[in-house]
Structure 1
Amino acid sequence: MRRYCIVERDSHEFHAGSKARNDVGQILTQQGWTALPVHRSQGKGIPDKLKMAAVTWMEWRKVSRTVAQGDTLLVQYPLDMYPKVSRLAIPFLRSMKENGVQIIMLIHDLDSLRGIEGNGERQFLETADVLVAHNQVMAEYLCERGYGDKAIRTLGLFDYLAQDVSAACNTGDPWEVVVAGNLMPNKAGYVYRLDQLDSKVRFRLYGPNYQQGAPQAGVKYCGQFPPEQLPQVLRGGFGLVWDGDRIETCSGVYGQYLEYNNPHKTSLYLACGLPVIVWDRSAIATYVVEHRLGIAVGSLAELPRRLQHMSREEYAALCQGAREMGERLRRGDMLRRALRGHPGAEDEVSG
């Protein structure tokens, strides 16, 4: 019985389209899993879709002929390609399942949480024997959607592999808050309203699609960097996990999605030794607070008061929790633990 994992690549190298996907493949191969490469979408338009349809069919046929009865196959869902093209993999997954292959589906994203149906999500997830969800809230959602007959495990947090993390990432100043990620206005519109807080909180922004406008007091744009470089360049005392166009709450489609998912930026901050600030209605809030990895607020307007009343000892404890968790994330402990299926894996934080 062998263990295989699907690893997506472009025409030149293994490439999963995001650091989270790359890290999963690296962790598994380090643990002795065999990588089975399939191509990801490389361009846009009809010609690329037609090419990818043929490539996808041939490569998944090869996968189905490689994996045998009693083997395990891990697939990262959704596949990093056009949804309609990705469905060509479904008949091969069904065939493998019927032939006695155990299929593990590690979930990165669920369109149904955004009200989007008909993209093959149900057909993919129904082929799985084991689903790996972000957290308990997502696991309960999957049960409500009819997947309660499957083994559902939770990550707790995504891993964030990194070897070189600058000790200077955490400046020791809780009033200096890092915001990392896609800064386009329709996703992170709140960053263009941070000066409304009228406080001594200072924000440092890192990421693409920032729309430079009139300068905001207390807000500095620090540029964009590849995910692998961020642990060397981030500087701050907290990392902020927020989405939507309002500072009063997380709003819109992206904000509401926080009620179910684990944003990868949470893992980035912790891997850098930064405690986090999260929305108190987000799925990750309970985990963060219980394990003393940061604080939860209902509105960014609460930040000045929360920071003002935070003692040095309390902040030091949060930094210590972030450092300890960061070490685990940089090693890939969360995925390893989830796949070992330890009872209470999500809640266990000792090494």
Structure 2
Amino acid sequence: MRKWITDIIQGESADATSQAKDDIAAIGIKNGYAPLHIFRYNSDYETDQAIQSRIDGITAAVTAGNLVVYQYPVLISPRFDQFFIDQMHSRGAKVVLLIHDVEVLRGTNVGNRIDEVPYFNKADALIIHNPIMGAKLRELSITAPMVSQYLLDYLDDNHDWHRLFTAPEEFTKTLVLSGNLFKSSYLTDWHEETPISVFGIADDDIQKGLRDNPKIDYHGALRRDELINQLPKGFGLAWDSDSWLGHYGSYTKYNHPHKVSLYLSHGMPVIVWKQAAVAPFIEKNHLGLTIDSLDEIDGLLANLGDDEIKDMLTHVNHMGILLRDGYFTSRALVAAEQQAFVGDIDFQ
């Protein structure tokens, strides 16, 4: 069996837009997958036939009995997504959709976006974020076999060990937030006593608010390697919205944020919303703290003992080894191969 994985080629960015897909393609290649290079482009003025011909060129070597892992969404167009899976099936290949985002769960599955329910049901298997997302997709009548990834991996072989691991004596009860700050406008009104270092893309108004707040140390938007070199040794905050009723907040109930993997893979315990999908994993594996409100942070950290911190750092440092090696994606790929070709296996 020949195995393929889509490798999305797009411009470098200071957020997680391309990083997760780049890492997954690299992990697939490490596991024996050949890359299918897809360049991001604007297909608005392209005919159906032109898009289909382009896909034929990209996938010319794919034949019957092959397996193709398609990283969804490619963010070219719904037509591209539809034609890709249809053309692979017409050749007799199996298709696994490795899902980065689900618009129907984010409340944005409108307009010219793909109708995800029938689209996902075309797949021979889905790699989803976690069982909570899987249960919600089942409620929406998605019947394709599902495999949970649990965490996004975060590859890093470019930094010395002191950037990857945290010793108890160098850890501080401070906060770090990295990401797209358009989703985190609450920061401009940050009133907690706990110091916070902030990294990420923001418009002029948000930047001014961050720089004017004496409790915030704003570093701007940094590239991946530069960001890692400057991350303080504190708690990584994964908190996108001050209102969990909005699109970003409610979506946190189902997805696993890329920033959680950034923090854990570099020796940083995390603080997440107690109702986030990733919260049970964090709690059960001693990887950080879960809270209902940001107002809890000052008291929680003040009462956190040295032994608790040491225990968290031990678990985080060990989990980081797996994340930097691509463990969670590798595990999901093997399970998805089984589901696509055989389904559940009775080993008794």
Displacement after TM superposition at 1:62 (Å): 2.7
Partner in structure 2 of residue 189 of structure 1: 185
> Higher RCO, 1 or 2 (CA under 8 Å, sep at least 6)?
2
2:153 partner letter = D
Partner Cα distance (1:11, 1:163) in 2: 21
Q: 1:123 to 1:309 in 2, by over 3 A?
A: same
Contact 2:233 2:267 in 1 (8 A): no
Shift of 1:274: 0.1
Contact 1:23/1:161 (<8 A) preserved = yes
Which residue of structure 1 aligns with residue 214 of structure 2? 217
- Is the CA contact 1:129–1:151 (under 8 Å) kept in the aligned structure 2? yes
1:68-217 superposed matches below 5 A: 68-81=63-76, 85-118=77-110, 119-120=113-114, 121-148=116-143, 150-165=144-159, 167=162, 170=166, 172-184=170-182, 187-195=183-191, 197=192, 199=193, 201-209=194-202, 210-213=206-209, 215-217=212-214
Q: Residue 265 of structure 2 contacts residue 317 of structure 2 at CA under 8 Å; is this kept in 1?
A: yes
Kindly state the Cα deviation for residue 89 of structure 1 after the two structures are TM-superposed: 4.2
The 3 A distance-change label for structure 1 pair 50 and 17 is farther
* 2:304 counterpart residue number: 310
Alignment of 1:329-344 (within 5 A): 329-341=323-335
Which amino acid in structure 1 is aligned with residue 131 of structure 2?
Q
Find the aligned partners of 1:11 and 1:265 in 2 and give their Cα distance. Answer: 20
* 1:263-302 matched pairs, under 5 angstroms: 263-302=257-296
User: Identity of counterpart residues, as a percentage?
Assistant: 29
The alpha-carbon deviation at position 41 of structure 1 amounts to 2.5
Return the offset for 1:79. Answer: 1.2
**Unaligned regions of 5+ residues in structure 2, if any?**
339-348
For the pair 1:324 / 2:322, whether they are aligned, the reply is no
SS of 2:304 mapped into structure 1 = coil
Name the count of aligned residue pairs.
323
Give the partner amino acid of 2:186: Y
**The one of 39, 42, 50 aligned to 2:45:** 50
* CA deviation after TM superposition for structure 1 residue 146, in Å: 1.7
Name the CA shift for 1:312/1:53 in 2 (closer, same or farther; >3 Å). Answer: farther
Aligned Cα RMSD in Å?
2.5
Question: What amino acid maps onto 2:196 in structure 1?
Answer: F
Contact kept, 8 Å, 2:272 with 2:279, in 1: the verdict is yes
Task: Give the deviation of 1:178 after TM superposition.
Answer: 0.4
Contact 1:39 1:56 in 2 (8 A): no
Q: Offset of 1:64 from its aligned partner?
A: 5.2
Inter-partner Cα distance in structure 1 for 2:280 and 2:231: 25
Q: TM-score, normalised by structure 1?
A: 0.85
Whole-Å separation in 2 of the counterparts to 1:157 and 1:55: 37
After superposition, where does 1:56-67 map in structure 2 within 5 Å?
56-63=51-58, 65-67=60-62
Distance 1:322 1:95 in 2: 43
Contact 2:48 2:79 in 1 (8 A): no
TM-score by length of 2: 0.85
Runs of at least 5 residues in structure 1 that lack an aligned partner in the other structure: 43-47, 344-351
Find the aligned partners of 1:294 and 1:125 in 2 and give their Cα distance. 33
| Distance (Å, rounded) in 2 between the aligned partners of 1:123 and 1:37 | 26
Partner of 1:347: none
Q: Which amino acid aligns with 1:103?
A: V
Q: Per-residue CA shift, 1:60-89, capped at 9, x if unaligned?
A: 1234543211110000111122xxx34134
Inter-partner Cα distance in structure 1 for 2:3 and 2:163: 39
Q: Which amino acid aligns with 2:142?
A: Y
Tell me which residue corresponds to 1:227. 224
Letter aligned with residue 31 of structure 1: N
